[in-house]
Amino acid sequence: MFEDSLVESGGKLRTRQGATTALSFLLEILLLGVLVLLPLIFTDALPRQQLMTFLVAPPPPPPPPPPAAAPVIVRKIQSELDNGQLRTPTAIPKKIQMIKEDEAPPNNGPAGVVGGVPGGVPGGTMGGVLGSVMSSVPTAVPKAATPQRVRVSQGVSQGLLVHKVTPAYPPLARQARIQGTVVLQALIGKDGTIQNLKLVSGHPMLASAALEAVKEWRYKPYYLNGEPVEVETTINVNFTLE
């Protein structure tokens, strides 16, 4: 009787254990499905950085490194000259290259053609240009035009002075104790005479006496390129009381 009870209870236990196992499998499957669906439904809850790593394509691979530069080989060229003189070679070269110059073609041109140039003349240069003989003829170089008027300094004009008239001191200026320098602008002609005289600066009471005296001055002609020219210069006349 006890065994029967054990056998019956054992069969019931086995039947309940199978149902519990099946139920647990179903619950685990549902739980896994919920865990899989939750990230798809609630995407805001997922970390953005992790999502970007899944969505952004990986960067392209880096380019291959550039090829290594070819080594520069510096070759020292040994000169055959030593202080302007040929240096004795240290070794005899195995191969010597002979330089052959082309011979000039024979002159087989027609009559009147010298050196291959039509119209050439005897004694001309081979391959010369027509007209070179004409250009070799000395031609007269045109003479530069001489200016009609030049300007010189006061020191140069004083060296040309040959006749000087001392101006008379005006009596009124002497009584008023007026003295000073009168500056004049003068034009000396080709014959050495004063042709144009202008007052530049000076006291009015002394200017008239200076103009009258300088008009009588005479100069040697000033020559430029062998020809006399007119000269512009400055003349200073000093009035000093004794």
DSSP codes, 131-172:
THHHHHS--PPPPPPPPSEEE--HHHHHHHEEE--PPPPPHH
pLDDT score for 158: 86
CATH class of 149-239: alpha beta
pLDDT in the model for residue 137: 53
What is the pLDDT, as a whole number, of residue 40?
Answer: 72
- pLDDT at residue 217, as a whole number: 92
**What pLDDT score does 234 carry?**
92
**What is the DSSP secondary structure assignment for residue 193, as one 8-state letter?**
B
Query: In 3-state terms, what secondary structure has residue 31?
Result: helix
User: Residues of the chain whose pLDDT is less than 50?
Assistant: 1-7, 9-10, 13, 111-114, 132-135
What does the pLDDT read at residue 153? Answer: 86
Indicate yes or no: pTM above 0.75. Answer: no
